[in-house]
Structure 1
C-alpha cells in the first residue's frame, strides 16, 4: 500500500496496493527510494479497499493525517 499527497490534492491518494509478492515489491521499491515504510495492518486493511488512484475516504482523514504529521516530524528530527 502506498499513498501520495500533494498540496493541491483534496486528500491523499492510493498510488499502489497489493498482497504478497506485489506488496513486498512495493515495500522494496519504497525502501530503495528512501521512502519511510510504516507497518500498520489495521490501517492497511481499511486502505486496501480504496480503488487505485483514488482519494482516501473522509472516514480515514484523521488516521492518515496523524500518520503523515508524525512522518513529517520524524523527517525533521523532531520525533523518535
Structure 2
C-alpha cells in the first residue's frame, strides 16, 4: 500500500449550546481511520471527504477544539451536512 492509499479520517463533535467550536473526537490513519468511517456509516453520520482538511485535523489533539484558522473550512462542511439533513427531511 502506498502512502497515498493509506486512509485518514477525523471525527468532529459540535454542540452549539456547549461548545465554542467543533472538537476532534477521533482521528487516525490506516485501520483506525477505517474503523472511524465504519462507525460513522453504522450510525448514519455523514462523511465528507477532503484530503487537505483531514491532514490539518490530524494535527489537532483529541478532545481539543479546532483552531480558528479552520473555522471557515469546517463551517462549509457543517453547512454541507445541514443541507443534506434538510434534503432528507423533505423526502
When normalised by structure 1's length, the TM-score is 0.93
Q: Which has the larger share of strand?
A: 2
Q: Post-superposition, which runs of at least 4 consecutive aligned residues in structure 1 deviate over 2 A?
A: none
Q: Structure 1: give runs of 5+ residues left out of the alignment.
A: none
Rg larger in structure: 2
Could you say what the CA RMSD is over the residues aligned between the two structures, in angstroms?
A: 1.1
Cα offset, 1:9, TM superposition: 0.4
1:9 equivalent in alignment to 2:19:
yes
Q: State the Cα distance separating 1:31 from its structure 2 match.
A: 0.2
Distance 2:73 2:29 in 1: 22
Give the aligned length. 78
Q: Is there any run of 5+ residues in structure 2 with no aligned partner, and where? A: 1-9
Q: Deviations over 1:15-45 (max 9, x none)?
A: 0001000000000011001101111111001
Structure 1 segment 1-80 matched on structure 2, within 5 A: 1-7=10-16, 8-77=18-87
